[in-house]
Amino acid sequence: MSRLVLILGDQLSDRIAALREADRESDVVMMAEVASEAEYVPHHPKKIAFVFAAMRKFAAALESAGWRVLYTKLDDPDNAGSIPGEILRRAEETGAKEVLATEPGEWRLISALEDCPLPVHMFPDDRFLCSHEEFEDWAEGRKDLRMEWFYREMRRKTGLMMEGDKPAGGKWNYDHDNRKAAPKDAEFSGPMRFTPDETVEAVLALVEDRFGVNFGTLRPFWFATDQGEARRALAHFIKTGLPGFGDYQDAMLAGEHFLAHSVLSIYLNAGLLCWEDICAAVVDAWEEGDVPINAAEGYIRQVIGWREYMRGIYFREGPDYTTRNALEHKRTRPGFYWTGETKMACLSAAITQTRDEAYAHHIQRLMVTGNFTLLTGIDPHDVHEWYLAVYADAYEWVEAPNVIGMSQYADGGIVGSKPYVSGGGYLKRMSDYCKGCAYDVGEKTGDHACPYNYLYWNFLHQHRDRFGKNPRMAQMYRTWMKMSDDKREATLASAEAFLSRLEAGEDV
C-alpha cells in the first residue's frame, strides 16, 4: 500500500525529512499549487512565481530521480484549492491511507494537517541546526533570551570559526566594525540574475493572470528557481558581495537595492540552499584570506545565530504569537505601504524597492518601514500581514519573530531588550535618502521637519511608564527631560498633528 509524501512549496530539498522516510518504490510524492496558500495574504507576485516555478522544477528533478510524483498546477480543473483538500483527493486517487509530511513553518498549516481526516505523520524539519527541543533546553530557566548567548552555543556546536573552545580572532562578534555608511564611489555588483526559461515563463503567465492585481512588480523576474542556480548565486555572492558584507551591512542607498547583501534568504528558506553549504562557503573564503573576519563572522552570525534563534522563538511562543500587542498599538497601516506614495524619501524608496524586487535588506525592513509603523503606533498584526505578503523570503516562522518581536516590540521584549526606534539622524547617517526628501532631517519640529524626529520623542514620551526605567534607554530619556518645556511641547504637538494627518489619510 503506497503512502502520500507531502512536499510543500518551501520544502524543496532532496534531504527533506518526509522524503528520507519514504520508499521510492512504493510511495507517491504529492505537490500542489493551491489557492489557499497563494491567497492567505496577498503575496507579492514575484514570491508566488518563485514558489511555483521552484516547485515545478523540484517535482521534475524528483521524477528524474525515480520518484512517482503527482503534481497539481493552480489552474488544474480538479484542484481542490487547499493542502488538506489535495491530500484527500490524491488519497482517493491512489488508495493511500496515510501521509508522510515534514513539519510546516507556520502554525496555521500545522493545525490544518493535524485536523486532516487521514493520519499524517509529521517529521521534524531537520534542515535547521537547532531542533525545537534543543531551543527549549537552551531557553529553559533563562531570565532573558538574548540572541548573542544562543549564537555562541551554535558556534560551539558547529565549530564554525572556532579555535578549540575560543572564537577565531579572539572575539565572538565583530559587529562594531559593521556599521559603516556606504561611500559614494562604492560599487556593488548585486545578486546573480537568471533569465526565465520555459517553465518560469509559463508560471509568470499564470501569475500575471491570477495575481496581477497584487502589490508588486512581476517582471523582470530574475530569481534562481532550482538548486543549481541557487548554488551559482551563492558562489557569486561569496566572490563579489561577501568581502564588503560586514562593512556595509547597515548602509542604505537610494539607487542600490542590494549593496553587499547576499539575497540568499529566498533560496535558503525554500530549501534550494542549506545553511551548511552557505556557512562552509563563507568559512572557506575566510580561510583562503579572500574576506575579512568581520564579514565572515557577521554573515555566519546571521545564519546560525539570528535565523535559528528566530525560528526557536516562533515555535516556543506558540500560535498566538502573531496576535501579541504589548504596546497596545491600534492605528491602521497607512495606505501608502501599498503604493510608496509618500513625501518621506526613505519610506518611498524602501516601499517602491519592495514593490519592484520583493526584497529589502534588514535595515530597510527594521529602521525604515518597521521603525515608522512602531513610531506611529500601527497595529502590529497589520504590520505582520504586510511583511508576510511583500517579501519573497517571508514565511511566518521567520517573518513573525522579526516583525512582532524585533521590529514592533509587540511581544513585550522577548526578542529585543529595547525597541528599535530612531529619529531621522540615524537614517541620515546610514543612507543617502534624506538628500531627496521633502522634509528636512535637520529640523526637529514643525511642518517641514523630518517626521521621524518628533515621532521618536513622542514614542518615548507615550511609553515612558514602560521604558523609562530601562537602563538601555536611560540616556535617551535624560536627553528628552533636558529639553526645555517649550521644545518638548512643540515636539509633541508636531507629532500629534502628523498622526492626525496620517489617520485622516492625508498625503504625508
Return residues touching ligand DLZ (CB under 6 A): 8-10, 32-34, 37-38, 43, 48, 51, 104-106, 109, 395
Question: How far, in Å, CA of 244 to CA of 255, rounded?
Answer: 17
Q: What is the dihedral of CA 137, 143, 147, 153, to 10 degrees?
A: -40
Question: How far, in Å, CA of 141 to CA of 134, rounded?
Answer: 13
CB of 403 to ligand FAD, least distance (A): 5
Question: How far, in Å, CA of 216 to CA of 350, rounded?
Answer: 13
Residue 508 · residue 343 · CB < 8 Å: yes
CA–CA distances in Å: residue 357 to residues 17, 152, 191, 256, 258: 31, 33, 12, 12, 10
Identify what 109 binds: ligand DLZ, ligand FAD, none; CB under 5 to 8 Å per kind. ligand DLZ
CB of 77 to ligand DLZ, least distance (A): 16
CB of 354 to ligand FAD, least distance (A): 11
Half-sphere exposure of 240 (CA within 13 A, CB side): 18
CB of 241 to ligand DLZ, least distance (A): 26
CB of 109 to ligand DLZ, least distance (A): 5
Q: Which of residues 339-398 bind ligand FAD (CB under 6 A)?
A: 361-362, 365-366, 370, 387, 391, 393-394, 398
Q: What is the 3-state secondary structure (H, E, C) of 190-251?
A: CCCCCCCCHHHHHHHHHHHHHHCCCCCCCCCCCCCCCHHHHHHHHHHHHHHCHHHHCCCCCC
CB of 104 to ligand DLZ, least distance (A): 4
Q: Judged by CB, which is closer to ligand FAD: 74, or 403?
A: 403
Cell numbers placing 337: 505601504
Identify what 8 binds: ligand FAD, ligand DLZ, none; CB under 5 to 8 Å per kind. ligand DLZ
Question: How far, in Å, CA of 310 to CA of 406, rounded?
Answer: 9
Identify what 362 binds: ligand FAD, ligand DLZ, none; CB under 5 to 8 Å per kind. ligand FAD
Q: DSSP character for 75? A: T
Q: Judged by CB, which is closer to ligand FAD: 51, or 80?
A: 51
Cell numbers placing 68: 512517482
3-state secondary structure of 72: strand
Identify what 37 binds: ligand DLZ, ligand FAD, none; CB under 5 to 8 Å per kind. ligand DLZ
Cell numbers placing 422: 530612531
CB of 10 to ligand DLZ, least distance (A): 4
Residue 363 · residue 406 · CB < 8 Å: no
Q: Judged by CB, which is closer to ligand FAD: 30, or 392?
A: 392
Identify what 437 binds: ligand DLZ, ligand FAD, none; CB under 5 to 8 Å per kind. none
Q: At what angle do helices 308-317 and 132-139 cross, to 10 degrees?
A: 80
From the number of C-beta atoms within 10 Å of its C-beta (0-12, 13-18, 19+), residue 222 rates as middle
Q: Judged by CB, which is closer to ligand DLZ: 104, or 196?
A: 104
Partners of residue 3 on adjacent β-strands? none
CB of 309 to ligand FAD, least distance (A): 8
Residue 427 · residue 441 · CB < 8 Å: yes
Q: Judged by CB, which is closer to ligand FAD: 138, or 299?
A: 299
User: How many residues would you count in the chain?
Assistant: 508
The single residue among 306, 457, 480, 498 that binds ligand FAD, judged by CB under 6 A, is 306
Identify what 393 binds: ligand DLZ, ligand FAD, none; CB under 5 to 8 Å per kind. ligand FAD
474: amino acid identity, one letter: A
CB of 134 to ligand DLZ, least distance (A): 20
**By beta-carbon distance, which residue lies closest to ligand DLZ?**
9
**Residue 310 binds ligand FAD (CB under 6 A):** yes
Identify what 365 binds: ligand DLZ, ligand FAD, none; CB under 5 to 8 Å per kind. ligand FAD
From the number of C-beta atoms within 10 Å of its C-beta (0-12, 13-18, 19+), residue 18 rates as buried
The single residue among 7, 54, 403, 434 that binds ligand FAD, judged by CB under 6 A, is 403
Q: Where does this chain bind ligand FAD (CB under 6 A)?
A: 261-265, 268-269, 299, 302-303, 306-307, 310, 361-362, 365-366, 370, 387, 391, 393-394, 398-399, 402-403, 406-407
